Amino acid sequence: MKDILHKNVLLVGATTGMATNGLLYLTSYLYRNGINALCQLRDNNTSDDALKTNIFRLLIEHHPTLVGVSIKWFQHIARGLRICNLVKSYSHSIKVVVGGNTASYFRYDIIHNENVDYIICGDGELPLLMLCQGKDEIPNFVYKEHRQVKETGFQYIHNHENSEKIFISDIGKIVIEKDDFSSFSYLYINTGKGCNQNCFYCGGSLQTQINTFNRKVPFYRPVKSVRKDILESVRYTDTLMFDFEIIGVVPYNIYEQSFSGIDLKTKNGFFYCWVLPADNLIKLLALTFNKVQLMIDIASLSENHRLILREKGMIKEQPTDEQLFNILRHCSEFKNVSVGFSCILGMPFMEHGDIGAGEEWIKNITDNFPSFNFLEFGRLHAQPGAPMLSTYEDFGMNVPALSFHDYYKVSEMNLEQGSYPDIGHLKYPQITYKDEKLNKAITLHSKNILMMMQRYYREKEKTCLFGKCSLLI
C-alpha cells in the first residue's frame, strides 16, 4: 500500500482536558524526522459546537493532509469518531488515521467507519512516520483497499533497545497551545511499557497487552531517554506524573538515575504506585521534589477482601492494613510527601462484612495519619480485554459491555450530554452482582464513602497536586 507524502500532520486526542501522553511522543518523533507535525495537547471544548469550531479552526490554520486521532480510552470512542467525522466533513481529501489502546483492540470494528482511513495498532511512532513518508509495507497497519480490510500485522514493538529513539522534544514547536503553556497542570513521563500481571479487572493486563501491542514482556525505557523527557518537560510544567512499574522489579535505581543531576526542587512529582513504595524510594522522592504525591493502588478497602482476591490468583500482590499504615507513618516523616489510595468497589467475593471493614479503615486513616490526603474510588466496570469478561458468570455477576457496540453505546452517552463530562462524571459500564441486596449495599457503601471523604476534605482542607481530590463514582 502506498500513499502520498504527508508533510503537514495534526494529532489530536479524543478526550477533553489534557490529551494522553502518547500524542506528545508521537509528535516529537515525527518532528525530529522532518515532518511538520503539531498536536493539540489540551482540549477544553465540552460542547459539540465548540468541538466543531475547534477542529475546523485547526484545519484552517494548519492545513494538514493527515489527521491522527488518539482513541486510548473506551469512554471516548464516540467523541473520537465524531472528530473523524468533522475532519471528513471539512475535506474528504484529508486522510484520517486513528490509534491508541481502544482503537487497536477494536481495530476490526473501527476500520469499517466511513470516516476512518487507517488504524495504527500498538506502538505507533515508526508506522506513523512511514505513513507520512508514503512508504510501503507499514507495520502495525490496518487499512481498506478495494472495499476490503487489510492488515500488515504487528512488526513494530517497543522494547528497551528500540525505544531509545522515542522521547519528548521540541514542545515549544510542536504543541499548538504555544501561548499558554501554564495551562499544562502536569506532563506525564513514561518510564516503561507493558505489564507482567493478569489482574482480572484490568484492560491493561498482560493478555490485553499481547492483543493490542503484541507486547509479551514489559520493559523500562533507557534512562537517557527518560532524562530527555524530564529536561524538556520541566520547561513547561511544575508537575511531572509517573505511572509505571514492573511487578517484581525494584524501581529505585531507575528513578535515582533518571533524576540524578537534574534540579527538581521547585517541581512537584505525582507517582502512581502499582505496589507499595520502598522506604528508600520515598526518601529519594522527598529529597528530589518540592512536593510529592503518592497514589497507591489497592484492590479493596477491606484487608480481608484484598487478600482473598490475591489468594485466588486474581490480582497482583496486595498489602495488609499494617503495611499500609507503616507507609503512612513513614511518609509523615517528610513534610512534603502526601499519600492517596486508589481502589475499586464491588469486586468479586465481596461480602457485607467487607463494607463495614472498609468504612472503618477510612475512619482510621483519616483520624490517625496526617500524611493521607485523598481517596480515588469507583465501582467495578468492564474494560475491553479484561480477563474477567470471560469468567464473570462464575462470580455471580452481570457485565453490560462485551462487544464494540456495547462500549460505543456507553461512550455515546458521554458524548450526548449537554457538556462533555470530566473524568469524575463519565459513564462507565458498571459490573454488578446478581444479588440485588448486595448491589444496594455496595451503592450505599459508595455514598457513605463519598460523604466521609467530602467531610474530611472540608474539615482538614486537604488537597492534592491537581487541586481538590477527585472521587470516581
pLDDT digits (tens, 9 = 90+) for 168-222: 999 999 999 876 666 678 899 999 999 999 999 999 999 999 999 999 999 999 9
Whether 71 and 129 share a structural domain: yes
Give yes or no: residues 92 and 195 share one domain.
no
What is the domain range of residue 309?
A: 185-396+434-460
Is position 162 within any domain?
no
Half-sphere exposure (CA, 13 Å, Cβ side) for 447?
A: 6
Say what the pLDDT of residue 157 is.
97
How many structural domains compose the chain? Answer: 2
Instruction: Kindly state whether residues 102 and 242 are assigned to the same domain.
Output: no
Q: How many CA atoms lie within 13 Å of 327's alpha carbon, on the beta-carbon side?
A: 23
Give the whole-angstrom CA distance, residue 166 versus residue 209. Answer: 19
Closest CA to 456 of 391, 363, 333: 363
What pLDDT score does 250 carry? 87
**pLDDT at position 147, please?**
87
Asked if residue 215 is part of any domain, the answer here is yes
Residue ending a domain, among 133, 151, 169, is: 151
pLDDT computed for residue 18 by the predictor: 87
Domain CATH number, residue 291 = 3.80.30.20
Look at residue 207 and tell me if it is in a domain.
yes
Tell me the Ramachandran region of residue 156: left when phi exceeds 0, alpha when psi lies from -120 to 50, beta otherwise.
beta
Total-model pTM: 0.94
If asked whether residues 207 and 108 sit together in one domain, one would say: no
Same domain, 43 and 146: yes
For residue 405, tell me if it sits in a domain. no
Residues 220 and 138 in one domain: no
Set of cell numbers at residue 152? 500488515
Polymer length in residues for the chain: 473
Cell of 193: 511499557
Q: Three cell numbers at 473? A: 463514582
The pLDDT value recorded for residue 473 is 30
Do 191 and 147 sit in the same domain of this protein? no
Shared domain for 194 and 84, answered yes or no, is: no
Residue 410 lies in a domain: no
pLDDT at 393: 95
Residue 308 and residue 440 in one domain? yes
- With a cut of 50, list the residues of the chain below it in pLDDT: 1-3, 468-473
The number of beta carbons lying within 10 Å of the beta carbon of residue 343 is: 22
Largest CA distance in the chain: 67
Read off the CATH number of the domain in which 22 is found.
3.40.50.2300
208: Cβ contacts below 8 Å, ≥ 6 apart: 105, 202, 384, 385, 386
Query: How far apart are the C-alpha atoms of 194 and 214, rounded to whole Å?
Result: 10
Q: What angle, rounded to 10 degrees, do the helices at 125-132 and 22-32 form?
A: 50
| Ramachandran category for residue 77: left, alpha or beta (phi over 0 → left; psi -120 to 50 → alpha) | alpha
| Residue 42 is assigned to a structural domain of this protein | yes
For residue 153, is it left (φ>0), alpha (ψ between -120 and 50) or beta?
left
Q: What is the pLDDT of residue 71?
A: 97
CA dihedral 446, 452, 457, 458 (to 10 degrees): 120
Does residue 189 share a domain with residue 322? yes
The answer to whether residue 69 sits within a structural domain is: yes
pLDDT at 20: 86
Tell me what pLDDT residue 388 has. 95
Mark which of 125, 151, 177 sits at the end of a domain: 151
On whether residue 409 sits in a domain, the answer given is: no
Check whether residue 311 and residue 450 sit in a common domain: yes
Domain boundary, last residue among 102, 133, 151: 151
> 442 and 357 in one domain?
yes
Distance from C-alpha of 396 to C-alpha of 102, rounded to nearest angstrom: 27
- What would the pLDDT profile of 245-255 be if each residue is shown by its tens digit? 999 998 999 99
> What are the DSSP calls for 220-277, one per residue?
EPPHHHHHHHHHHHTTT-SEEEE----TTS--HHHHHHHHTT---TTSEEEEEESSPP
Edge-first strand order for the sheet with 141-145 is: 36-39, 8-13, 66-70, 95-99, 118-120, 141-145, 148-151
CB atoms within 10 A of CB 38: 23
CB–CB of 298/343 below 8 Å? yes
